[in-house]
Amino acid sequence: MNPKLFLADEAEREIARNDLGRSLAVEAGAGTGKTTLLVDRILSLLRERRAPLEEIVAITFTEKAAGELKVRLREAIEKAISLSPPEEAGPFGQALGELERAPISTIHSFCASLLRERPVEASLDPHFEPLDEMGLGLLFQETWDRWIGKEMEKKPPALRRALALGMEMEPLARLVRQIYENRDLLPEGPLAEPPFSSEGFAEKLEKEVRQAWALAQADCRKEEDLGYRAILGLQEKLKELKESSPERREVILFRDLQIKAQGNKSNWRVPASCEDQKRVLKRLAGELEELKGALHAQVMAGLVNWVRGFVAAMEEEKAGRGALDFQDLLICTRNLLRDNKEVRAYFQGKFRFILVDEFQDTDPLQVEVVFFLAEKEAKADRWEEVELQPGKLFLVGDPKQSIYRFRRADIETYEKARQRLISRGAGINIVQNFRTVPSIISWVNRIFSGLIQPAEVGAYQPSYVSLVPHPGRKEAVQSRPGVILLAPPPDFDPREASAGKVREDEAQSIAALIEEMTAPCGPDGKWMVFDKKETRPRPVSYRDIALLFPALTGIEAYEEALKERGIPYRLEGGKEFYLRQEVRSLLCCLKALDDPADAISLVAALRSPFFGFSDEEIFLFFASGNRLSYLQPPAGEAGDFSEALSLLKELHDGRNFRSISATVSDLLSRTRAMEFSLLRQGGDQMAANLRKVLEQARAFEGESHATFRRFVEWLGTREEESVREGESPWAEEGDENVKLMTIHKAKGLEFPIVFLTNLASGRRRRQDFIPLRLEGTFEMRIGDFQTGGYASALEKEKGRMEAEDRRLLYVAATRARDYLVLPLFWGNRGRGFFSLLEGHLPSFESMEPWAVIDGQLIAGRGCFNLQPAEKPPLRLDLGEPEKKQDTPWERRLQWKESLERIKKKAATGLPLLAPSSAHPSTLGLLPHAMDERLELDFSRDSEEEGGISFGLAFHGVMEHLDLSGGSNLKELCRIQTFEHSIPGSAEKLEAVARHCLGHPLMERVRRSPRQFREVPFSVFLEGNLVEGKIDLLFEEGEGWVIVDYKTDGVSVEDLERRFQSYKEQGLWYARAVREAAGCEVKEVAFFFVRSGEVRWIKGSEI
C-alpha cells in the first residue's frame, strides 16, 4: 500500500493535526486511524512549542490503549528527533524524557492523580486506595449483609410495606446495587413520594360487587359459571376487607384481590345480565390497576429513600478504610472541579491541552471533568455553561461505535458536548478507511446508511457518515468478494428449527468453512489474506479468524463444532468462566471441604474429574454401610474412597490454619487435576482456568477479613450471578487459534476474517433500571412494582436499545479486513439481529454455491460436508481374558483388572525415535513395541572445526536471521558464539551464514508465501513416537520443501557417501510432516552449508 496515495479527507486530517488554535470535535469512522491523529496532534503541539508533554493530557478508554498510545508516541518522537535539525529537536528530546510521567492514561487514573494532588480540598484521605472489582464486590456484600440485618430488626416502614404487598427480596437486592452504582443520579434530598389515595374505591367496589352479586343470584342458573364464582370470591374478599386493619386492608385490596370479567351467557337466564356484570367488573379491574400503579410508584419512592441509607453506609465504610471505587474517582473529581473554583483554576493552568480518545463511550461525569478543565476561566457552575479555551480541547470519537450504554456511556451526552464545539465551526469528519477491502466497505455503507439515521425524537442515533476505502487497499483474492453469505443447506427449514438447532447447524457450517479456508488448497482455490507486516497476500491460518457474538449464549454448540474438526480456538471475555465445568467442579470440591455437612457438594466433588468416582462406585460404597462423610472413616477396606476422603478431611482440618491459595494449590496438585486436564481436548484452557482460580485465591488473601469460607462464598456468588469474567489466557497473541469473543470485546480490534455469529439470538431483554442522565434521574422496576415514569422511560429506552443494536452490528462488521462472513441461520423463535437486515439479503432460492449476488459471495448450500470426519475411538489391545466372565460382579472385576493393565501400560512410556539424532543403522530396525523409552544421542554434526558447538550456533543464527537481507547477522553471530562458548568463531560463522544466505535455495525460500523455522514435531509412525525438529520448512507451489542444514566439513569426494547416510533421516522427516500436518512434501534438501552443495530427495523417492 502506497501511503502517498491521495486521501479523501486529507484536508480534514491537516486541520486535526495542525489547527492548534481551535478546539475540535473529530468524528473518525472505523479503521480511519484515530490513534495516528492523536499522535500527530501531540507532535504538532511539541513542534510548535505550545506546551511540554507533561502539560498535555491524553485520555484513553482502556489501560491497554493508554500503553499503546505511549508506545506509538515514543516511536513518533524518536523519529521526529532523527529527522529534525538539532536546533528544532529540543522539544522532542525533552518530551522523550517526560514520556513516562506524562498524563496519558484512562480517565479513572487521571482523576486519581488529581485527587492525590489536592486531597484536602476533596475531603479525602491523602493515602486513599482505589478499590478493584474484587475489593468493591466484597465490601459491598459485607456492608449490605450487615446493614440489611440491622434494618430487618428495625422493620423500616418502606421495606415492610413493599414486602407485604408482594415484593421479593432478591430482585430488590439487585436493584440496590444498581442504585449504588448510579448514586450520582440520586437527588440531593429525599425523593418526593407521589400522592396516592384509595379512599372511595373500596366503598365503590363494595357497592358495585353487591349489585353484581344480586344480579348473579337472580339470573345465573349454574353456580359453576366462572362469572358467578368470580363475584362470589369478591364477596368473600370484601367481607375480609371490612374486618381487617388499615395495613392489612391495603394488602387485601392491592395484592390479594383479583377482579376478572368472566361468565358464559348460556348459563344465565338473561344473557344481558351476564354482559352487564362483565362490563362492571372489567371497569373495576381497570380502576384497580390504575390505583395499583399509583401505589407501587409511592412504594418505590419510599424504597429509594430507604436505600439512601445503604448508600450512606457504603460511603462511611469506604471513608473508614480510606478507599474509593472507580465511580468515586469520577464523582469526587467532578465535585472538586465544579465546587472549588480555586482548585479548578489551578488544574486549568497545569494542563494546557486535553485530548480525549473514544469520546463516544464517555460517561457524563467524564464530560463534566473534561469541560471544566478546558474552560477559559474558572467561572461556570455547570459544564453546559463553560466557555472553552480556544485550542485546548480535542475530542475524537465515532458515535456509530457507541455500544457501552450498560457501562454508563451516554451517546446523548456525547452529542450534546460535540454540538458545543460544532456550533463554533469546530467539527470535522475523518472517513478514509485503511483497514478494510473495498467490497466490504461498499457493503457496510450500503447497509448502514439506511440503518443508522437520527431518530425522530431524541439525539440517541447519529447520521451515518460513509467510509471511503483506501485507494491502495485491494481484495486479497481479486476474483473473490470480501462479503460472504454462509447459507444453510437446502434441507434447512427456518420454520421448523429451534434455537438450539439453529446454533448447531450454524456452528457446523462455520466450522466446515473454516476448514475449507485453512486447507492447503480447496475446491475454490486457496484462500488468501493480506499480511500487513509482509505487505503481500498469504494463505489463511487459524489466527486470522474471529467469531464475533452479540452474546455468548449457546457458545457450547460452536465450541463443540470446532473441537470435532480439530480446529484450535480461544474463548475471550464474556460470562462463561464461572460456568466452565472445570471451574464448577473445583468449586464443588472447595464447598465440600469447607462444609462437611454439604452432602450434595461432596457427591459432586467425588463424581468430578478431581476424584473420578462413578455413580455406581458411590452407590456401592454407600450401600456397603458407609456414610458419605469424610469426618467418619469408612467401615472396612474402601480402597480409593479411603484415600479421597482422607485428603478431603486433611484439607478441611487445615483450611483455616494456612493461606487460602495453599489449600487450593494442594487440592490441585494432589488430585493431579492440572495433569488430567492437559490430557483432554481443550486441556490447555482447562488448566489455565484452574490456575486462574488459584490466582483469584491469592488475590483474595489481600482483602480484609479474608477467610476460606468467604472465598468459597464469593466464588459461589459469582457463579450464581454469572459475573462477567474472561477465561484465563493460555495462548499468546498471534498463536494459531480461532478467536471467539463478544462484539463488545472485539471493539477496537481488527481481524483478517470475521464471522458474525449467532445473530439469530434474541435481542436484549427488558431493562429493570433505566438511567436518564440528561435529566439527572432514573426509573426502575422490581417485579410488578415500578416508579411513576418507568413505562414512558421504557418506551424511550427501547428506541435507544434498538439504535445501539444497529451500532453493535456496525462495529462487528467493521472489524473485518479481508473477509466478512454472515451465516444466514435463523429459526422459529425469531430472526434476532437479522430483522435489522430485512430487505438487504437475497432469498435462499436464489442462492447457488460460490455464486456472486449483489457483490456477495454465496457459500454453503451443500457445497461442503457439514459432518466432520469420524475419528475411530481409542482402543487398547489388552489381550483376551483368561476365561469368560458371566456374572455382573465377575464382569466388573474383569473391568477393574483391565483398568489396572491400562494404567501399567501407560506408565511404561512410549517408544521414542529421534531421527535427527539417530544413526542410520538404527532406523527401521526398532521393535514395534518397547517397554522402555529409547533415547538416541548421536552428534548432529561431525566433530571437526567446532563440531557440535559450531553446528548449534549456526542453527541458532538461521532460526532468527533476517532472510531478506541479513541485517541482524553480525549481532546474531556474536550472541550465538558467546552462548556456545566459541567466541573466536564469530567471523567464520558469519562467513558461512552469509554464503548460505546468497545460495539460490534461499532465494526460493524468500519467494515462499509461508515459511517456518525450527519446526518441532511429534508423531506416531510404525508404533514409535517420532520426535524432532525440522530446520526449515517452506511452501512452494502445491507442496512443501524441507531443508536440513549440515555443517559438516566434508570433502566433495565424501559428499555422496555422507548424503546416503542422511537419506533415511530425510524420509522420516517427510513422513512426519505428512502425518502431523496433512501436507504433501515434494522435496527434501540437505544443505551442506560450508561447501554450498545441496543434495535432494525428490518425487517418487519420498
Percentage of the chain modeled with pLDDT above 70: 89
Higher pLDDT, 252 or 473: 252
Close Cβ partners of 342 (under 8 Å, ≥ 6 residues apart): 378
SS in 3 state form for 351-388? CCEEEECCHHHCCHHHHHHHHHHCECCCCCCCHHHCCE
The pLDDT, as a whole number, for residue 734 is 55
pLDDT in tens, 76-107: 999 999 999 988 889 999 999 999 999 999 99
- pLDDT at residue 722 is higher than 50: yes
| Confidence (pLDDT) at 945 | 47
Q: What's the mean pLDDT in 594-604? A: 93
pLDDT given at position 940: 41
C-alpha gyration radius of the chain: 36
**Euclidean distance between CA atoms 633 and 627, whole angstroms:** 9
Helices 615-623 and 599-607: crossing angle in degrees, nearest 10, is 130
Q: Does pLDDT of 937 surpass 60?
A: no
Length reported for the chain: 1102
Say if residues 409 and 361 touch (Cβ distance below 8 Å).
yes
Mean pLDDT of the region 29-56? 95
| Cβ proximity of 1046 and 1026 under 8 Å | no
**Average pLDDT of span 748-777:** 88
Q: How confident is the model at residue 914 (pLDDT cuts 50, 70, 90)?
A: low
User: Looking at the predicted structure, is the pLDDT value of residue 747 above 60?
Assistant: yes
What is the structure's pLDDT at 939?
36
Among the ranges given (350-359, 403-412, 535-544, 931-940), the one the predictor scored with the smallest mean pLDDT: 931-940
Q: What whole-number distance in Å separates Cα of residue 353 and Cα of residue 392?
A: 5
Over residues 3-13, mean pLDDT: 80
Query: E-strand spans in 317-423?
Result: 323-324, 353-356, 393-397
Q: Are strands 1039-1046 and 1081-1088 parallel, antiparallel or unpaired?
A: parallel
Confidence band for 898, pLDDT divided at 50, 70 and 90: confident
pLDDT greater than 80 at residue 752: yes
Residue 131 — very low, low, confident or very high, per pLDDT cuts 50/70/90? very high
CA distance 897 to 885: 12
Q: What is the pLDDT of residue 5?
A: 59
Spatial contact of 934 and 912, defined as CB atoms under 8 Å apart: yes
> Which residue type is seen at 651?
L
All three cell numbers of 700: 483474595
Is pLDDT larger for residue 1080 or for residue 441? 441
Return the pLDDT at 192.
87
454-475: buried (b, 16+ CB within 10 Å) or exposed (e) per residue? eeeeebbbbebbebbbbeebeb
| Higher pLDDT, residue 718 or 899 | 718
**Cell of residue 1036, nine digits:** 512452494
Rounded average pLDDT over 903-928: 50
Q: pLDDT tier at 1064 (50, 70, 90 boundaries)?
A: confident
The pLDDT of residue 869: 67
Any residues with CB less than 8 A from the CB of 365 and at least 6 apart, and which? 184, 330, 331, 334
Q: What is the mean pLDDT of residues 928-954?
A: 53
- Give the pLDDT score at 621: 83
Strands 912-913 and 528-531 come out as unpaired
Instruction: Calculate mean pLDDT across residues 522-530.
Output: 73
Distances (CA, A) of 111 to 118, 246, 368, 844, 1008: 11, 52, 12, 54, 52
pLDDT band of residue 928 (cuts 50, 70, 90) is: very low
- pLDDT of the residue at 923: 39
Q: State the pLDDT confidence band at 840, using cuts at 50, 70 and 90.
A: confident
pTM, full prediction: 0.78
Q: Which residue has the higher pLDDT, 335 or 886?
A: 335
Distance, CA of 384 to CA of 397 (rounded, Å): 20
For the segment 684-696, the average pLDDT, to the nearest whole number, is 89
Residue 137 has pLDDT above 80, yes or no: yes
The distance of Cα 516 from the centroid of its chain, to the nearest Å, equals: 26
Contacts 24+ apart (CB under 8 A), 523-526: 523/863, 524/480, 524/850, 525/477, 526/477
In this model, does residue 797 exceed pLDDT 50? yes
- How big is the CA angle at 546 (ends 540 and 552), to the nearest 5 degrees? 155
The DSSP H or E segment spanning 774 is none
Distance CA 429, CA 418 (A): 12
With H, G, I as helix, E, B as strand and everything else as coil, classify residue 104.
strand
Query: Which range in 443-447, 684-688, 968-972 is most confidently predicted, on average pLDDT?
Result: 443-447
Of 341-355, 658-672, 1056-1070, minimum mean pLDDT range = 1056-1070
- Give the pLDDT of residue 632: 83
Strands 1081-1088 and 1093-1098: antiparallel
Over residues 723-728, mean pLDDT: 56
235-256 burial: b if 16+ Cβ within 10 Å, else e: eebbeebeeeeeeebbbebbee
Q: What is the number of H-type helices and E-type strands within the chain?
A: 35, 29
pLDDT over 50 (residue 212): yes
Average pLDDT, the chain: 87
Residue scoring higher pLDDT (525 or 631)? 631
pLDDT grade for 781, boundaries at 50, 70 and 90:
very high
Look at residue 523 and tell me whether its pLDDT is greater than 60. Answer: no
Give the pLDDT confidence score for residue 774 in this predicted structure.
86
Q: Is the pLDDT of residue 1082 over 90?
A: yes
Q: Please, are residues 511 and 569 in contact by the beta-carbon 8 Å criterion?
A: no
Q: Which tens digit of pLDDT belongs to each residue from 644-664?
A: 999 999 999 999 999 999 999
φ, ψ of residue 732 to 5 degrees: the values are -80, 155
User: What is the spatial distance between Cα 1052 and Cα 1100, in angstroms, rounded to a whole number?
Assistant: 26
Give the pLDDT of residue 881: 55
Dmax of the chain from CA atoms? 126
**Does 922 score more than 60 pLDDT?**
no
pLDDT at 930: 35
Q: Would you place residue 10 in the very low, low, confident or very high pLDDT band (cuts 50, 70, 90)?
A: very high
Quickly count: other Cβ atoms within 10 Å of residue 150's Cβ.
10
Q: What is the pLDDT of residue 915?
A: 62
- Look at 352-361, 407-416, 938-947, 1072-1081 and tell me which has the smallest mean pLDDT: 938-947
Among residues 509, 488, 641, the alpha carbon closest in space to that of 565 is found at 509
